[in-house]
Amino acid sequence: MTADVVATRRAAPRSGARRLLSRHWYAWAMTAPVVIVMLVLVGYPLVRGVYLSLTDATEGNMGRTIGMNVIPSTYEFVGLKNYADILTSSEFLGRLAWTVVWTVVCVALHVGIGLGLAMLLNRPMRLRSLYRILLVLPWAVPAFVSAFIWRYLLNGEFGVVNAMLRAAGFAGIAWLDDPFWAKVSVIACNVWLGVPFMMLALLGGLQAIPRELHEAAEVDGATPWQRFRHITLPGLRPVSNTVVLLGTIWTFNQFPVIFLLTKGGPGGATEILVTYAYRQAFEGIRNYSGSAAWGMVILALLVVMATVYRRALRQQGEAW
């Protein structure tokens, strides 16, 4: 009898799962293709990357097929050696510091300029729809196309920007050859690409704030700054909390702008973590294990950042 009770208890969860599946079969059927695609496009590469990061796989010891000859892989398991090499290398802290500066400056400008434009477009004005279309155009252009356009504009000898400076009586600037100006250039290009997304997201948040709140505050004598601080900013938090995180992840991993505009130069001055990981895998003697380890370090940094950000929001009473 005891065995029957145990068997019944064990069968209960299965029957509950079956009821849940039969009740929501349509939802499971709709999400199954997405889950499968995510497993194929994200899950497998992630697992493969973790595995390679624990080996010494390079171009020389990876298996390959040449004609009819099959050369087996000879790389070996080395544990956490690649991670130790990264964290103790002289390049890691410098690349990390610039990546953080690059991300913070770009996201701050995205939010600041995007919010300003969103507030302008939220007001009644003539040709507002046309202005919205024009401001969204940089976002519609692929990042690699924008990077090539900016590279042409900032060319030291033939660039449009230096031509305008010389026409105005100023000396040309080595935008892409000087470390400081190269950093300014990549930040400007990335801000050009990222502001439209931030503007649209914040504009949607502004339009969700009831106008009655601003009208009541204005009747009570609140100044524009007080209305912005106590009504606009709190009303934007549900949107801004999310887009700031998305913008941070997007900028932290912004490969096309850095690689196509300056290729990490001059002298590695604009190299961020993701472009350095790319160089490990696709330039010189291809170090697949080192590149995979760099990728895992980047992923870990983003996970830690997102976790800290989420906890900070919770401490402030914000849901996310």
pTM listed for this prediction: 0.84
Task: Answer yes or no: do 104 and 203 share one domain.
Answer: yes
Number of domains in the chain: 2
Q: In which domain, by residue range, is 53 found?
A: 13-71
**Nearest-5° angle of CA 184, CA 188, CA 190?**
120
Task: Answer yes or no: do 249 and 106 share one domain.
Answer: yes
Across the chain, which has 320 residues, the per-10-residue mean pLDDT values are 47 58 76 86 90 91 80 88 92 93 96 93 81 82 90 90 92 92 95 92 90 87 88 89 92 93 91 93 89 94 92 72
In a domain, 43, yes or no: yes
pLDDT score at 14: 52
Tens of pLDDT, residue by residue over 196-237, are: 999 999 999 998 888 888 889 888 888 989 988 989 988 898
Check residue 67 and give left, alpha or beta (phi > 0: left; psi -120 to 50: alpha): left
Task: Answer yes or no: do 53 and 93 share one domain.
Answer: no
CA-based R_g, the chain, Å:
26
Task: Answer yes or no: do 105 and 228 share one domain.
Answer: yes
Tens of pLDDT, residue by residue over 37-54, are: 888 888 888 999 999 999
